[in-house]
Each structure stands twice: as C-alpha cells, then as structure tokens.
Structure 1
Amino acid sequence: MKLPGKDASAELTSGDFTERGDPVALFGEWLNEAEASEPVDANAVALATVDADGMPDVRMVLLKGFDEAGFVFYTNLESRKGEQLAAHPKAALCFHWKSLARQVRIRGPVSPVPGEEADAYFASRPRLSRIGAWASRQSRPLESRFALEKAVAAETARFGAGSIPRPPYWSGFRLSPVQIEFWNNGAFRLHDRVRFTPQGDGWLRQRLYP
C-alpha cells in the first residue's frame, strides 16, 4: 500500500470535514474509511491516563463501541490502567490512521459501563479470549510464558464445554468527550485541524492553526 506523500496529502486535505457539525458522525465516517485502508486494527487507539503520582501513562487498546454518549473500551479492572482510571476517572484517546494521514484526539471523564453491557460484549468475544480473561492477572509480574500457558490450561479445564461468565474484575469504561479534535494531513505541514466542544444540545466547532 502506497503511503500518501506531499502531493497525495494535498488531495486528502479537501477541508470539507471542517464544516461538519456532528463530530460523532464524522468520527464514524473516518473509522469506516480506516477499516478499509488500515492493514490491522483500525479501531486501535492510544489511551492516556495518570497514576497516583500524577505521572502520565499510555498504551494501545481497542475501541469497542461509540455513540453520542461516549467511546467504550474494556479491560481488567485490576490492571494498571484499570486502577488508574478508578483513582483518576479522566482519560484521553488518540487515533492515528497512517494510511489516511488522519488523527482524532478525544478527552473527557470516564465511567464504568453498566454490568449488562459488559456482559453482552464479553459473551461476544471468542471463547479463548474469554478464558484468557480469567487466566491473566494483567499488569502483574509473570514468572514465565509457561506459567501463563499453565493458567490458560487450568481455566480451559475448569470451564470445559460450559459457559464462561464475565470475571468480576473485567469490565469496560465509557469516555464521555468534552473535546474531540480532528486532524487531516496537509502539504507542507499546513494541516486541517478542527476542535469540537459540547455547547448546549450541540457542539461548538472551531478551526485551529496547524
């Protein structure tokens, strides 16, 4: 796949998206286009949090849903990010689609998804992923790869062919945006940037210098 160079970047920067009024719908369109062009995981997003000392932390997660209420991802609640979000329930997301030369940044408070919502998503995961959620003590020291494989084998035997419920320490978070910024690559670093912030029942749109 050919990556956009300077000439192609100029073609991508039409400016049309800067006149849009609904950032959630625009995000959906950009994600759909990324799913057609990104080789792996178009829904991958960098999630930034802070720890108890106020130090920033960042890692990649997968977006599993979005709508006007927010952007949803799942994790082990006892993981480092789970503990950080419980202590400081604010976060930032950054999507970067290299094939499209586009970026979306989102930030805001986070809240746990309802239990029934987490149950429904967990049930939709592949069986081995559900077993892995029980076997992994995410973010904690692991003595060897063999120890992990042994834990997976033990959980596989425990559940057998039966149903696999969601672990009590595994759930999701919804980030409710207080800011959504779209960035589209432009020739000679003259990018298009538009920031949306909630205003009343809608959104305030503001263009930014690149």
Structure 2
Amino acid sequence: MISGRSTDQAREQGFTLIEMMIGMAMGLIILAGLTMLFVSYGDSSRAMASRTERMGDLYLASHVMQAGLRESLSVPDATTSILTNLASRSITAPTGYPASDATFTALPYWDATSKTITYQDLEGNVGIFQYQRTANDRIYWLRPLAAGVTGSSTFQELMRDLDTSSGMTVTVSGGNVTVTLTSAYTNENKQGKTLSLTFKTWPRN
C-alpha cells in the first residue's frame, strides 16, 4: 500500500510539472506575441511620424515658393535688370547662372544649368530658388529684399532631405510654372518610400 501511494504521489507531481511547463510555454508564446505587436506598433508609429514630418516639409517649402512666384513680375523690371539688382546686393551669381539680362525674357525664369527659378517683385528685387546650391539634397532661397536689408545677400536653406537626383523638377509653359518636389520617408519595413508634391502657379503682375 505504501509503495502504491508513493507511485501515485510521484505521478501527481509529474503531472504538475508538465502542467507548469505547458503553462510557461503558453506564457512565452503570449509574451512573444505581445512583443511582436509592440514592435510592429512602434515601427508603424515611427513610419507615420517620418511620413508626416516629410510631408510637412514639402508643404511648407511649396507654400513659400508659391507665395514668392505669385508675386513675381511677368517680365523683368524696365528700370532694374535682374543682374543689376543682384550686383547691387553684392550677390555672386550661382554657378552656371545666365550672364546676360537678355536671357530673362519672361518671369519666373527656370534655368536648368544652374537649377534656379528666378523671379522679381514689384520693387525690382530679385528672388531665387536654387536646387543643390551646396548640398545635393536641398533647396536654397534668396529672398527678394532691398540692398542693405538683413538677409538680402544670403541664400538660406529652405528644405533638406530631397531626392538627390530629382528633388526639384520645373517646367515653364505659357507663364505657368509647374514644380514637383520629391523626398522620401522610411516605412514600417524600414524601406525608403518616395513622397512627391506638385504645384502649379503663375505670376499675377
């Protein structure tokens, strides 16, 4: 009888150990699932933040550019030429920039060689948007300010993290300017995905 009881107790203890192991295994499976869910949620959140940030940058840059280009003269100022205004502000023209005022037959003017969009406000001050002035992933902006005003002779960074080959593409037809800005963000699979924003504008003056 004693021997039989010992065997039953051993069996009961064995079953309890197996149940514990099964419980632990189930717990580990649940924990692994929760971990994967948490990681997936974290990746999705980072991807959404990356996309939102990049899209915000594109919208901001496009609004600044549209505001400037819409206030441009449609033809250069009769008394103040493009190059004369730049010289009065001690601005060194971008590499490959047109060397003759006769080139600017209409505004805004897109020059593919220097990757610049040139425009001129009602006061004759010249503004320039330039792609890849010093860094390949950026747009720089020369604001149309009068000589002597702070910032009138400086190209300022407008946006970075653009595509290094097609970050800003421009077409001009019949006074209409179409600009496409292209950037990228990292998705939840840690892959780079392209984001583009296109706008069309024309001078009002």
Q: TM-score normalised to the size of structure 2?
A: 0.27
Structure number with greater CO (CA < 8 Å, separation at least 6) is 1
- Structure 1 or 2, whichever has the larger Rg, is 2
Report the structure, 1 or 2, having the larger helix content. Answer: 2
Greater strand share, structure number = 1
Query: Scaled by the length of structure 1, what TM-score is found?
Result: 0.27
